[in-house]
A and B are shown apart, each in its own frame.
Chain A
Amino acid sequence: MGDLIRRSAADLADALAAGETTSVELTRVHLDRIAEVDGAVHAFLHIDTEGALAQAAASDARRAAGQLASPLDGVPIAVKDVLATDGLPTTCGSKILEGWIPPYDAEVVARLKAAGLPILGKTNMDEFAMGSSTEHSAYGPTHNPWDLDRIPGGSGGGSAAAVASFQAPLAIGTDTGGSIRQPGAVTGTVGVKPTYGGVSRYGLVAMANSLDQAGPVTRTVLDSALLHEVIGGHDAKDSTSIDQPLPALVDAARRGAAGDLTGVRIGVVKELTGEGYQSGVQQRFDEAVQLLVGAGATVVEVSCPNFVHALAAYYLIMPSEASSNLARFDAMRYGLRVLPEGIESPSAEDVMRATRDRGFGDEVKRRIILGTYALSSGYYDAYYGQAQKVRTLISRDFDTAFYSADVLVSPTAPTTAFRIGEKLDDPVAMYLNDIATIPANLAGVPGLSVPAGLADEDGLPVGFQVLAPAMADDRLYRVGAALEALLEKQWGGPLLDRAPTLEVAR
C-alpha cells in the first residue's frame, strides 16, 4: 500500500470501490506525505488535518451505506488559497488577508464537499495570483519537486507542486493568464483552464474577473476530466456562468486514451512557436505533433496575427480589473489593520494607507498602479479601451483558426522551470512566461497542458498546450489523453516516474 500516494485519482476511486482502501487511509497517507516533504517543497499554506479526516470518515460512512456522492467520493484534494473556504484561512498568498477566515465556501469548494472529496489544505500561490513563479507569495516560495532550486511556475505553483510531489492526488488551481497550465508544464503535471463561465467563480477571490477561471490540477488527463465534471456547470450565483450542460469530458478522455485521432484537425499556431522558445521545448513539442499525426490526426498551420498583441493587452486589462478588485482591502472590515506610526489619532484614510503599504507586496502594488493609470480619465481610451479592442481581435483570430482546425496546439510555456530568483528583478521577462497561455484567457476559450517530456538541455519537464473553442472542452480531453497515452507508451510509464526522489523528513 506504500504506493497509494503515487496512484491516479481514478485508480484510487477504483481502489475505494474495490474495498482495497478507505478514504480515511487515503487522507492519512497524504497528510503523512505532506508532513514528510512539504518542509522542502512548501506547497501548502494551511493544512486541515482534522477537517480532512472528518470528511474522509463521512465518505467512508457513505460508502458503507451505499450512497456515494460522486465518482471521486473519498479521494482527497488540495485547494489553491485563492478560493474561499468556510472556517479555513484564505490568504491569497498575501499578508493583507493574514488570519482572515471566510464565513462561506466558494462554489467550487462547496461542490468538492458535496462530492465527498476531503480537503487536505490550501496551497501556496503568488500574492493574489500575480506571478508566474510563486515567488511573489508573502509566505515564501514553493519549490519545484524536479529541482528544489527552481520555481514550480505560478501563480498556482503550490497546487502543481503538491500534485507533482504526491502530496495530493488532485488539486484546484485558477488560471487568469496561465496560472494552471504553466505550473503544469514546468512540474510535469496536467492542468486545465476550462471555458470562461464553465466553472463558477463565486468565492474565487478575483484578480481579473473577466479572465479568471478555476480548474483541475492533476497527474493524468482522465483525473482532470473527472474533477472538471465535479466542479463544472452552471451556478446562478455567478452571472457570467454559462447556463448549459458540460460536454461529456470523462467520456472524451477515455475515448482519447484509446489512441485514435482519425479525422481530428490539429492547428499549429504559427505565432506560438519558434523564436523565444527554448530548443528543448520546441523539440518535444514538434515530436508530440508527429505522434498525433501518427494517431490519425491531420496537422495544419494556422496564423493568429493578433496574438502578438496579447501580452500587452493582458497587462492593461488584468491590472485594471485588479486595481479595482483590490480596493476593498482597506482594513475596515477584515484582514490586516496597520496603525500608522507617528500619527496621534489616525483617520480611516491614514489606516487604509498604512495597511495597504504594509499588506501588499511589490508586484501587487505594481499592478495596482498600472491598472489605476490605465483606467484614469484621459488614458482610458488609449489603454483599457484599446486593449479591449485587441481582445476582440484575438477572439476573431481564434474563430478563424477554429474554422480550419478542431484544436490548436503550442508549447505551454516558452521555457522549462527557471531558477528561483532568476527573473525576480525583471518583470517583463517574468511576464513572457505566459505568452502562449494568455490568448486563451483573453478569448475565454479552454486550454489544457499535458507533459510532453523532458528538455534535452536541462532534463526538466516541457508542457504541450491544447486549445479548443468555447464549450468544446471535451476536445482538450480527447487530444490530451491520446497524447498522454502515446507518450507514456514511449516512456514506459508516467513522466513523474523520472522525477528525483524527494528526501523524506522523519
Chain B
Amino acid sequence: MSDALVPYDEALAAFDPAMGLEVHIELNTVTKMFCGCPTEFGAEPNTQTCPTCLGLPGSMPVVNGKAVESAIRIGLALNCDIASWCRFARKNYFYPDMPKNFQTSQYDEPIAFDGYTDVLVDTADGSEVFRVEIERAHMEEDTGKSLHVGGSTGRIQGADYSLVDYNRAGIPLIEIVTRPIMGAREKAPAVAKAYVAHLRELILGLGVSDVRMEQGSLRCDVNLSLAPIGTGELGTRTETKNVNSLRSVERAARYEISRQAAILGSGGSILQETRHWQEVSGVTLSGREKSDADDYRYFPEPDLVPVAPSEEWVRSLKDTLPEPPRVRRDRLQKEWGFSDLEMRDTIGADALGLVEETIAAGASPQAARKWWLSELARRANEQDVDIASLPITPAQVARIQALIDEGGINDKLARQVFDGVLAGEGTPDEVVAARGLAIVSDEGALSAAVDAAIAANPDVAGKIREGKVAAAGALIGAVMKDMRGQADAGRVRELILEKLA
C-alpha cells in the first residue's frame, strides 16, 4: 500500500514546511569514545571489543580526549558557544545492540550550543546564502549494529533471527542538531541537502571524520512538519531515518512534504513517528511510533567526571581552525580561474574537494573540472550514487589526464579508461595496457592507413588536392575507424595534408 501524495507545488501552496536536521558524525579517532578499542571500519564482527564497549558487569568508561577535542573543534566551526563545564548523561532504553541498555550521551549540558552556519543553496537564478541555526552539538557513543537475517526486507519484521556486531558499539559520535529551519519554502529540500553537503565539507576540512554517508560515518535524520501557510506554527513532525546520501536528503524531504500535505489536505493528522527512507522506491515507510512521552530517564553518568575545557585550550583550538568553506571556495575559485558558473556547477555536483585533489595530483583546473563534471557526474547520476562514492580516486583522474597530455591516449580512449577503472579493472595504466588502448604511434602503420583511405576515397582526395582542406575530416574519420580510434587525430590530419599537398 503506498501513501497518497499531492504534487509538490500544490503542497507548498497550502503549507509551510519546517525542518529539523539531526546529523550524526562518526569521528575518526583511533580508539573508541570510552575505551581503547580500535575503530577501523570493516573488521571481522566482534573483534574490536573489550569489557567496556561490551558493557560487561563492572567495566567502566574513560573519556577519549581526542574525541572531546574534535567535538569542540566542530562546535567552534559551527560558531557555537563551548561549555566551560558539562557532563555526560545516560539515555536509558532497551535494545539488543546497546550493550548496557543505556547510551552514554549528553543531555541538557551539550559540549557546544547556540551556533549557526551559512549554507550556499542553489536556486533557479544563481545561489543564495541561507543561515541554519545550530541548537547544539553533543558527544555520544554509537550502538552496535544489528543484522536481521531472513525475511525479505532486512528489517526486524519478518526476520528469522538477528545478529549483532559490537565493533561499532562505543565509536565516538557527534550529534549536531539544528533549530527548526523555517521560511525555506520550496527550497526546503535543497536547503537540507546543501546543509548536509556543507557540514560534510566543513568536517572534512577539520579532518575529524571521514564523513562517508555510504559507510554511515555521516548519518542524517530529517525531521519535517507542515503548518498551514503563513501561520508560522510548527506542525506534528515525522523523523525520517536511513537517509544515506545527499540526494536522498533532498528526495526524502520532498517526499515527506508531498505525503504530509496529502494527509493534512484531506483533513487527516500526522502521526508522530520514525519513518525509514527507501532508497530504491524513493518513499518513506512507517517505523516506530514515537511520542514526546518517550522517557529516556536521563541522568548524569556517575562513572564519568565532568568535562571542563579550559578557556586557553578552547581559544587555541579556535585559533587553529581551518578556513571556513566559503572562504575556501573564494580562494579556490581565484586560484583556479573558474567563472562563477563553473564554480557553481562544481559545487552543485558536490565535486569541489574531488576537483581540488585532482588538481593537487597534477591535473590542470580545467581538465579536472571537465572530467568530474562531465564524464563522472553523468555516471554518478546514471547509477544514482554520490559522485564521491564512485570507485575512482582523484589521483587516478589526474593520471588519465596525464596520459592524454603525454599523447598516450586521446579523449575518446580516455572514456574507455574511465570505464575500465570504474569497472574495477585496475589503475589507468593497467586498463590502458589490458584493453590495448594506447594510441598507435607507429608512423609506418599510420602512413599505410592514410594511403588506404586516400585510395578508397579518390573523390575526397581530389577535393583536398584542390585546396578544400575542410574535406580532410572525412578521411580522418576513415583512418580513425580503421585504427579503431587508437590514433592521434592531429597526426593523421598532418599526414593526409602532406600526402595530398
Q: Contact residues of A with B, CB < 8 Å?
A: 83-84, 90, 92, 97, 100, 102-104, 106, 201-206, 208-210, 236-240, 320-321, 323-324, 327-330, 332-334, 348-349, 352, 372, 375-377, 380, 384
Contacts and interface: CB of A to CB of B under 8 A. Distances in A.
Interface in B59-104: 59-63, 90, 92, 94, 96, 99-102
B355 to A, nearest CB: 45
Contacts of A201: 60, 303
Contact of A324 (B92, B99, B304): B92
B492 interface: no
Interface string B287-316: 000000101011100111100000000000
Contacts of A102: 51, 56-58
B297 A206 contact: no
B228 interface: no
Contacts of B305: 239-240
A209 B298 CA distance: 15
Given A209-B303, A376-B297, A377-B297, A330 B60 contact: no
Given A321-B302, A333-B54, A372-B297, A328 B60 contact: no
B381 interface: no
Given A238-B60, A323-B92, 19 more contacts: A84-B51, A84-B57, A102-B56, A106-B58, A201-B303, A202-B58, A204-B58, A206-B58, A208-B302, A236-B62, A239-B60, A239-B63, A320-B299, A327-B102, A328-B55, A328-B100, A330-B101, A375-B92, A380-B299
Interface residues of B, number: 30
B385 to A, nearest CB: 34
Contact of A327 (B54, B101, B295, B298): B101
Nearest to A82: B58
Nearest to A83: B58
A332 B58 contact: no
Given A90-B57, A333-B54, A237 B62 contact: yes
A380 B90 CA distance: 14
B308 to A, nearest CB: 13
Given A103-B51, A327-B101, A376-B297, A239 B62 contact: yes
Contacts of B304: 239-240
A205 B57 contact: yes
A104 B56 contact: yes
B391 to A, nearest CB: 37
Which of B57, B298, B302 has the largest number of chain A CB atoms within 10 A?
A: B57
A402 B61 CA distance: 33
B162 interface: yes
A140 to B, nearest CB: 22
B90 A330 contact: no
Contacts, number: 99
The A interface is mostly helix, strand or loop, or mixed, namely loop
A241 to B, nearest CB: 9
A155 B231 CA distance: 61
Nearest to A348: B96
B299 A332 contact: no
A83 B57 CA distance: 9
A258 B295 CA distance: 58
B475 to A, nearest CB: 74
A97 B57 contact: yes
A105 B54 CA distance: 15
Contacts of B102: 324, 327
A252 B94 CA distance: 48
A328 B59 CA distance: 12
Contact of B99 (A84, A208, A328, A372): A328
Nearest to B62: A239
Nearest to A210: B302
B147 to A, nearest CB: 13
Contacts of A90: 57-58
Nearest to B166: A333
A327 B100 contact: yes
B389 to A, nearest CB: 33
A203 B59 contact: yes
B52 to A, nearest CB: 9
Contacts of B62: 236-237, 239
A332 B243 CA distance: 29
A202 B59 contact: yes
Contacts of B92: 323-324, 327, 375
Nearest to B162: A348
Nearest to A375: B297
Contacts of A83: 58
A202 B305 CA distance: 15
Contacts of A92: 57
Given A240-B303, A324-B299, A203 B58 contact: yes
A236 B35 CA distance: 11
Contacts of A104: 51, 56, 59
6 contacts: A206-B303, A208-B302, A327-B92, A327-B102, A330-B94, A333-B99
B86 to A, nearest CB: 15
Contact of A332 (B59, B90, B96, B302): B96
Nearest to B63: A239
Contacts of B96: 330, 332, 348
A334 B56 contact: yes
